[in-house]
Structure 1
Amino acid sequence: MASHHVITKDYPENLSGGIMVCGINFGYSAEEEALDAQGKTKAPEPLSFFSDETINNTRFRTRVLNWLSGWGIQLETQPGKEGPRERAFWQTNWSDTQTRSVDSHEKINFETLVNDADGILELIEQRRPSVIIFVGSQLIEALNDIRLRKRVETILGPRPGNAQIVRSKPGSNGSTFKMLLQTFGDTSIVSLPHPQTIGLTNEQVASFSLPEEVRAKILR
């Protein structure tokens, strides 16, 4: 059994063939940092389904839900109203570490992601997600790194080639962003920019053309 941290409650729908939402690492708030400095710890939130707005209602999850909504994928946010679709989602992060940002004293870069891959790959092997949503562009790059490729293909299936690039519509300043799409075996991978990317709007993410077969897997 993989020990990599998952912050979503286990359901039959997410333990096999579910929808994995994966960020870079487990950040923590200024409040948590202050408690840590005092030698105190904040009581962990109880586990629930991914979109439950009453539990661990972070900006990260709120923005991911907004992005899904922009593609016409609505998830219930109130406990008691969740169904198989909501229970299929589960959230984790590539690195099982906790820092305020990727540039803090424990800097997270591409090499860190490759070196920290054991836990997340064990978790993917255990749960075999049908869709992986990477939030942070370097994650799909690390998954494709030559040092990890053989192991990834053993877990998920053959790599068909380089990821497909989908561009967003231009923002107000003319900037565009990219979504990367790739499939290993039966697993579809969607790579999105990090929610804190400067200038990125929900409208631009909504303008990404999500393949119908990926959307169908999520809306099953």
Structure 2
Amino acid sequence: MTELNLANTLFEGFNDKEGLVICGYEWGWSKADQENEGKVPPIDFSIPCTFSNKTLRYGEQAKGWRYDNKIKKWFTLWGHPLNEDALGSDFDKCIIQTNWAYTSNNSINGYGRFLEEEAINNFLLHIATLKPKVILFMGSKLINLLRHEKVWDKFTAIVGNQTSPLEVVRKQEHDGRKFKVFFEEFETCKVVCFPHPSSSRGLSDGYIGLFKTEMDNIFTNYKNEKNLRA
């Protein structure tokens, strides 16, 4: 792959370099998407939009996308709500959404294909081009893919050496199901890996909200480093 696979616009000085990358496994392709194929107008990708407000490009259907809505709610729980008005704030422009693989499916059905050369190269292309300061993985297996021998050395060649050991956090004060969240730092990049927002059974907003201290610290430091306006 030689082209970036992005869900929203690149804004010079914000997310084109040293931005905040939201990265899932691959693009979704739901049954509703299949049924509506050819029935909706083609998307004009020249229309600028943020992750926070995809309706500018994709129309009203974007308001119903569960994956996006969950992530946006998480940002609110962490004390950094996204701005869905027009192109939003400078922070909104710093966010860019992509996926490990460029493929589209309605279910994962095995993770081995994400270690195929094309999938790995797709991921590394985005990291090498965008050089993000923060990567938010949305899917617990992504941290394992990152640390696989096929990926690790190529990734660290881009972001620098690991500067702190992998930290695995499970909030014991939660009454429901407790998921692991992973934190890792490199010379030029922080990585956080969450469970998949829309397909992790038993994952509650209450549990995700318990990570407010960690995420507020990451986002606040990021905003200060970028000298972002409100």
**Which residue does the alignment assign to 2:25?**
24
The Cα shift of 1:168 comes to 2.8
> Counterparts of 2:69 and 2:161 in 1: how far apart (Å)?
33
The change in CA–CA distance for 1:41 and 1:140 in structure 2 (over 3 A counts) is: farther
The Cα shift of 1:182 comes to 0.3
Amino-acid identity (%):
22
> Counterparts of 1:112 and 1:137 in 2: how far apart (Å)?
16
Instruction: Name the amino acid aligned to 1:79.
Output: A
The Cα shift of 1:90 comes to 0.5
The change in CA–CA distance for 1:45 and 1:194 in structure 2 (over 3 A counts) is: farther
The answer (yes or no) to whether the contact 1:73–1:219 under 8 Å persists in 2 is: no
The Cα shift of 1:178 comes to 1.4
Q: Which segment drifts farther, 53-62 or 196-205? A: 53-62
Instruction: Name the amino acid aligned to 1:66.
Output: K
The Cα shift of 1:28 comes to 1.6
Q: Which segment drifts farther, 54-63 or 119-128? A: 54-63
Q: Could you say what secondary structure the match of 1:183 adopts?
A: strand
The Cα shift of 1:217 comes to 3.7
The Cα shift of 1:136 comes to 0.1
The answer (yes or no) to whether the contact 1:23–1:136 under 8 Å persists in 2 is: yes
The answer (yes or no) to whether the contact 1:18–1:131 under 8 Å persists in 2 is: yes
**Which residue does the alignment assign to 1:79?**
86
* Counterpart check, 1:133 vs 2:136: yes
> Counterparts of 1:86 and 1:52 in 2: how far apart (Å)?
9
Q: Could you say what secondary structure the match of 2:68 adopts?
A: helix
The change in CA–CA distance for 1:30 and 1:83 in structure 2 (over 3 A counts) is: same
> Counterparts of 1:128 and 1:94 in 2: how far apart (Å)?
15
Aligned 1:178-189 pairs, distance under 5 A: 178-189=180-191
The Cα shift of 1:25 comes to 0.6
The Cα shift of 1:17 comes to 0.5
Q: Could you say what secondary structure the match of 1:153 adopts?
A: helix
Aligned 1:115-194 pairs, distance under 5 A: 115=116, 116-160=119-163, 162-169=165-172, 171-172=174-175, 174-194=176-196
**Which residue does the alignment assign to 1:69?**
76
TM-score by length of 2: 0.83
**Which residue does the alignment assign to 1:112?**
113
> Counterparts of 1:183 and 1:219 in 2: how far apart (Å)?
17
The Cα shift of 1:213 comes to 4.4
> Counterparts of 1:130 and 1:32 in 2: how far apart (Å)?
33
**Which residue does the alignment assign to 2:97?**
91
> Counterparts of 1:125 and 1:6 in 2: how far apart (Å)?
14
**Which residue does the alignment assign to 1:59?**
66
> Counterparts of 2:75 and 2:182 in 1: how far apart (Å)?
16
**Which residue does the alignment assign to 1:7?**
7
Q: Residues 125-155 of structure 1, C-alpha deviation per residue, up to 9 Å, x if partnerless?
A: 1110010000001112111112211111111
